[in-house]
Structure 1
Amino acid sequence: MNEYAILLDGLEVSIGLGIHDHERAAPQRVSLNVAMTCRYDMPPADRIDAVVDYDYLREGILALAAGRHIELQETLCDAIAALALAGDERVQEVRVRSMKLDVYPDARVGCEVVRRREAP
């Protein structure tokens, strides 16, 4: 097996996220990083159909951000991980990190999850 890490790094979205009244009042900036471990039977040919195309992931995240308000970063990370694993069976593992950018003036706060495809 050949493993590759496909990275979507630093995607900044404006999203309704949080439990506090001020977080419910307006969307906030969140930075998202996603790393997908993909397995291929052989080194992929130099064609997009031979690899996991990350467009579906980016588009899905943007749709998620435009959708409903989400209470917790854990919920957001889990939803993105599920999206990554559902998009292509060659994705074996996904690591998702979210960072709220404007909570504190001197720090970012975030969450990270790792999810693996379950064996059949």
Structure 2
Amino acid sequence: MLAASAAFAHPKLAACRRLFLRNYEVYINIGVHDFEKRGEQRVVINIDLFVPFALSTPKEDKLREVVDYDFMRATVAKRVSQGHIHLQETLCDDLARAMLEHPHVLAARVSTEKPDVYPDCDAVGVEVFRIKED
């Protein structure tokens, strides 16, 4: 696993297009503390997908020729609908793994943030970056 900051410079990604979902806000049951288990919390999710140009350059200007953005949103919705999640690390890992299940996605970067945890900072969160193995 690469550090997320080195993700964009990885040589495998040079011939890729980057698709992204920015600041996708969801309300989910997440957290390890008792008060967190009683209700939903706001979580902000960011996703970058790296898709080879050969698999994402439309010739007919048709949606079927690319990875549909709805795939990212639907994947998030499916995971968060499965019930309480204790850790952001679990959520990030699960989402990254699910993104890589798409046959055209070579790599994925996923971050989650809980912006309402501490009053003295913008957010606390986790980020992961994964590349499919050869």
2:131 alignment counterpart: 116
**Between structures 1 and 2, the one with greater strand share:** 1
Corresponding residue SS for 1:35: strand
Deviation sequence 1:50-85 (CA, Å, 0-9, x none): 111121220121122222111110100011111111
Q: How does 1:33-112 map to 2 (within 5 A)?
A: 33-41=46-54, 43-45=57-59, 46-86=61-101, 88-107=102-121, 108-112=123-127
Q: Once the two structures are aligned, what percentage of the paired residues are identical?
A: 39
- Tell me, which stretches of 5 or more residues in structure 1 are unaligned? none
- Tell me, which stretches of 5 or more residues in structure 2 are unaligned? 1-13
Q: 2:31 is aligned with what amino acid?
A: G
Q: CA deviation at 1:47?
A: 1.5
| Superposition misfits of 4+ residues, deviation over 6 angstroms | none
Aligned-pair Cα RMSD in Å: 1.5
Corresponding residue SS for 1:68: coil
2:16 alignment counterpart: 3
Count matched residues. Answer: 118
Name the TM-score, length of structure 1 as normaliser: 0.91
Counterpart Cα distance in 1 of 2:79 and 2:26 = 10
Counterpart Cα distance in 2 of 1:84 and 1:56 = 8
Corresponding residue SS for 2:95: helix
Name the TM-score, length of structure 2 as normaliser: 0.82
Distance 1:44 1:2, change over 3 A: farther
**Between structures 1 and 2, the one with greater helix share:** 2
Counterpart Cα distance in 1 of 2:91 and 2:19 = 20
